[in-house]
Amino acid sequence: MKKQNKTKNNEIIRLEEVYKNYIMGETIVKAICDVNLGIKRGEFVAIVGPSGSGKSTMMNMVGALDLASKGEIYLDGLDIEHVGESELAQIRGRKIGFIFQTFNLIPTLSALENVALPMIFQGIPKWNRIERAKKLLKDVKLEHRMYHLSNELSGGERQRVAIARALANDPEVILADEPTGNLDSKTGEEILDMFIELNKKGKTIIMITHDQNLAKKAQRIIKLRDGYVVGEEIIKKHS
């Protein structure tokens, strides 16, 4: 039976007393411990911490990519622990767009085909997929590169393709994992400016980063250490 949370304060994602443990041989690794976190619709949040602080695990939890060992995770009010994987994949595909440090483009596909790919899994007809993919590539100023393979693109161009792909199904949430980690500082600033513009248009942005300066571009910073949330900083109040 699906369980609904009494979501408060217009939250799109909520974690309640979440723990995540991994079994490594005879050792239990506590990756996330007693996390309580809510993210509002239209908010720009940065989750920061040093290497080993639990950022990657937190990304999996916030992005509904993994279930908790203990606790509850809600995506748009739905308790994901009570949803089958097939249905959850469909919900996740509609609600969340993912952007990764290593771009994760399929090398044998063109930029256009990479952007259109997520729409296949949502049952969108081919003509509509192609038209929307072209529009998204134009929005990220890559319409002149849409038929190029990923190895023919620069790092910044690949990340722009990845952003367009993340927007393919018009998700409410963009989850970016170290999105500027493989880019030079100028290109990284351009990518971050794109996130800010998307946020202004109403997209919820969740950025995982170790870079404190980058994090300060967000509205709120969540600080992780050793799997615990150890602090929170409000940069700009959410309107």
Q: Rg of the chain over CA atoms, in angstroms? A: 18
Q: Domain for residue 8, yes or no?
A: no
Q: Domain for residue 95, yes or no?
A: yes
pLDDT grade for 239, boundaries at 50, 70 and 90: low
44-72 tens-digit pLDDT? 999 999 988 999 899 888 898 888 999 99
Burial class (CB in 10 A: 0-12, 13-18, 19+), 108: exposed
Q: Domain for residue 127, yes or no?
A: yes
Amino acid at position 19, single letter = Y
| Number of domains within the chain | 1
Q: In CATH, what number is assigned to the domain containing residue 130?
A: 3.40.50.300
pLDDT grade for 11, boundaries at 50, 70 and 90: very high
19-48 tens-digit pLDDT? 999 998 889 889 999 999 999 999 999 999
Q: Domain for residue 147, yes or no?
A: yes
Which tokens sit at 82?
């009570």
Domain that holds residue 123: 41-67+84-234
Is the per-residue pLDDT at 7 higher than 80? Answer: no
Q: Domain for residue 227, yes or no?
A: yes
Q: Domain for residue 33, yes or no?
A: no
